[in-house]
Amino acid sequence: MNDAEERFAERLAEDLDRVLRVGLATDDIELEVGDGAANVRAARLIGEKVETIEAWGRDVLSLYCPIIERAAELRLAAAFWRMVGPA
């Protein structure tokens, strides 16, 4: 991973933490870049579960929005489960 990709992964981790907030933490971010394709995989700790968010795209920048959107979905699902899940 080059320096720019490393900074992208660090910034993505910071932004994911802002989206997920308390109770959902970033465990690991893996970034793979090849000829005309990129992949990012973020492992998230949700309570005692590990949830993996993954996106593919033509370049690193195209991965940002899908990962942030998926993190927001996870936060919403976790909040919903806390409200209506088993007592």
- The model carries a pTM of 0.73
One digit per residue, the tens of pLDDT, for the chain of length 87 reads 688 888 888 888 888 878 777 656 666 788 888 888 888 888 777 667 777 888 898 888 888 888 888 888 888 887 787 788 776
CATH topology of domain 3-84: Double Stranded RNA Binding Domain (3.30.160)
Q: Is 36 left (phi over 0), alpha (psi -120 to 50) or beta?
A: left
